[in-house]
Amino acid sequence: MKTTAVAFGLACLAAASACTAVVADSSACRKLEYKDGGVERAQYLPCAAEMIAVLDDLDRQTKAALDGDAQARSAGQASLRQVMALMSAAGGRQLLERWDDRVLTDLNVDISNAVTKYQAFYMVRILDGQFAKESRAAAEAEYQGATRRYDEAKRLFRRLN
């Protein structure tokens, strides 16, 4: 029950956060045409490129935030909202369905997993004082998980281009 409540809370936060970022009308993620079994690779890759570009910034900002840069933490949260907005514009939950193109399905799962771990990082408050060591370790673990999943997505995306 506790896990369900946490998952529900994360989903609500994700939905609320994504609404505050704007996706340009010219974004490739706004123009996807879903057909039976997903989106054609040629049409989807420009959208995926936009997501990967934001994840590039997000990863750099998150590393700096982990090192104590408050401005980078704020910028990272904005980038997180931006990538979530792109995912929403691209179809939201449809991105996690099994597409006929299994490689694109794998890419979508990798991107989604990275975003989930970055979300978890930004939910951890890095404390000073009595619980500093524990909060830093939790943030470090989430960052490492996010980076690992982001690297998987980036490798797969590069293979597709």
pLDDT digits (tens, 9 = 90+) for 99-146: 999 999 999 999 999 999 999 999 988 767 777 788 888 999 999 999
Rounded (5°) CA angle 4-7-12: 125
Residue 12 belongs to some domain of the structure:
no
Q: Is residue 109 part of a domain?
A: yes
Query: Which DSSP state fits 101?
Result: S
d(CA 125, CA 68): 11
Residue 132: inside a domain, yes or no? yes
Q: In total, how many domains does the chain have?
A: 1
Cβ atoms of 101 and 41 closer than 8 Å: yes
Report pLDDT digits (tens) over 17-73: 444 578 999 999 998 999 888 899 999 999 999 999 999 999 999 999 999 899 999
Q: How far from the centroid of its chain's Cα atoms is residue 57's Cα?
A: 11
